[in-house]
Structure 1
Amino acid sequence: MNIANRKLIEDAVILIEDNLKTNLSLDEIAKQIGISKFHFHRIFKAITGSPLITYVRGRKLTSSLNELLDDKLKIIDIAYDYNFEYEQSYERAFKQLFGLTPSAFRQKNCELPIVPRIDTSLLNDISKGIVITPWYCTMPKFHLAGIKTLINHIENYNTATANSSAMDFYYNKRYLLQNAINEHLYYGLVTYHDFYTADYYMPSVEVSESFDFNSIFTCQTIERSDYAVFRYVGLHSPEDLTMKLLSEIYEVIETVWLPTTSFKPTRQFHFERMNQKICKEDYCEADIYFPIKY
């Protein structure tokens, strides 16, 4: 399988839930759902924000709460039932996750935050990968430097102009910037010009300060803002993240998220951000930040 999609994750989640009381390994999960363990690990971490083993352990501990409410069951038997090698291993993991011991929970019978089963309704399929509906964050003011180009929507859809300018900047031009903070963290800044015809696109990296370059580069300051962040994951090179593919991501945002949220995009700009140390020839992970207002 060379396409990341929601069914892949759904199958993995069901498999994990059916085997919470076994020692199910990453190799076994990947084999049963028909994907390499390297691909699966990267996709899973991109979706959950944590390694597979952390999620599985959290689901085991969460599921064990039901047994702990039964005073007739011994904690050591519950630990073994969920495939913890020692009772101490179970108690240590339980306290690390929930902040109290299993016996203390049994005595208090209190409210606890849990590790929920992954909600695959938050995943949206497009032609080459998955779009994850947003999380929200705030970012302080920062500065981007790059090469700004006016992109015609129809022309770029057919000729991938923005994609070409992005690759030219990343592979040939970014090294000329002396004050880059992290040259491997790529930003594709889209500043809205005319919604129907064209926008400005600026492949860029973050720089330490704003100033006039008097050269091919443009420096743009992004003021502090709150954002809705959509993650895209695909089993292909980041160079294949064309405008055509990005338009599918934007369509998910416009048709799935926007009609249901009380947040409003500012409609002034947005940016794509990719960590090139994470991306590989067969793996693309990109976060798309939309500034929001209330």
Structure 2
Amino acid sequence: MHAYEAIEQSLTFIEEHLTKEISTEELANTVGLSPFYFQRLFKRLVNKTVQEYVKLRRLAKVIENLKSTDQRILDVALDYGFSSHANFTRAFKETYGITPENYRRDLPMLNTFDKPEVSMNYVLVDEGVPLVVGNIVLEIHKKTLEKPEIYLGLETEVRISEQMPVGESTGVDVPGQLWKRYHMEKASIAATLNTTVEMGMSHAKGTAQNLFTYFAGGLVQNNPDRLQDGFVKRELAAGEYIVCRVEAENFEDLVTVALDQASKYLFGIWLPHHNLTTEPFSAEKYYRDSEGMACMEIWVKPLPLKNKS
């Protein structure tokens, strides 16, 4: 067994026992490693200590329950191993910046810590060859956009330290909140849109400002004479792109777990292996008319790694 396979096996064990007591010694025993070596390997591959990871996964499951059931907050907390309401509230607020009561009342979009697919770090696919991992399929290829595409939507500034790296930060999901607002307000511009294609665009403002600009909107089919108040127009420029297509079982998984895993693979594994970096821009293209699947594409503009400033 490869070392990463042992950690993946332990991650699966954790998922199956989140409502039970989980000790580091038990996890080490399930994969045949000493507790000392297991903890070092786990931290290296997951970027969290064992107990910190277990806490974050339990909190992610708690959020699912608070959103989808009427179960009492205390009962949910106790189900997932928190010893008291005070202990749970402290952990929740330290992780997400709000109390569980405020979350259930307002239901903001939150960044949660997903179960990682560690094996993706050790698999390199060729261009145009699908990679199947967990419940997602991804495929990377080059694409030329002959004509620019125009999008109409909303825009906000996002603090990098609170959103990046993808899947590592927890708290309010600012881009997710912008999408929520866009879907509430897009009726006023519906006549100008092709409702089957939506786009999220990120433009870095430079690390000195610790900010990037995020846009959420829909593809324009009838260019408006003037913009509705609050809406902005953005362009996916013509040119050469690296495109990572991602498919998942449903749209919620697509925009959370699948987007997180695909972004990590594209930026952390595939592009560096091909000696590429990208311009400080990326786009998430969502196809809302796909039957039987949920799919999207991540678009980036490649640059040779040696030219990275």
TM-score (norm 1): 0.49
- Greater relative contact order, per chain length (Cα 8 Å cut-off, separation 6+): 1
Of the two, which has the highest radius of gyration?
Answer: 1
TM-score (norm 2): 0.47
